[in-house]
Amino acid sequence: MESQIDTGALIKGIIGSLVRFLFGGIVGGLVTKGVISAQQGELLIPAVTLGAVTIAWGIWRKYRIQQRIVVALNLPAGSNAQKLDQAVAESRQ
């Protein structure tokens, strides 16, 4: 039996690490220049990271919903949810 890598989880983890690294650098620069204290920086990194992830997730969800709407509008009248799911899956291939 082959092991499968969950690429979705892997990509989310990589993006999360990159976002934290980016914000860590920005906050580190602000601490170095004396704009904020080190204590404020420690609180700021998780808060900004969570905010960025929340915004990105919201944008992604809205995009996927719009995809479903476009596919649904092109289905024949009377199509059911199963046909919509199948058509959406086919449109993503």
Write out pLDDT tens, residues 36-54: 999 998 888 888 888 888 8
Name the token pair of 23: 């914000």
Q: Count up the domains in the chain and report the number.
A: 1
Query: In this structure, is residue 26 part of a structural domain?
Result: yes
Query: In this structure, is residue 1 part of a structural domain?
Result: no
For the cut 80, the answer to whether the pLDDT of residue 2 exceeds it is: no
Query: In this structure, is residue 16 part of a structural domain?
Result: yes
Structural domain of residue 17, as residue ranges? 7-91
| Rounded CA Rg of the chain | 20
Contacts of 76 (CB under 8 A, 6+ apart): none
* Per-residue pLDDT tens digits for 4-14: 777 778 888 88
Amino acid at position 67, single letter: Q
Tokens 């602000």, residue? 30
Query: In this structure, is residue 23 part of a structural domain?
Result: yes
- By CB atoms closer than 10 A (0-12, 13-18, 19+), residue 49 is middle
Enumerate the H helices of the chain as residue ranges.
7-32, 38-73, 81-91
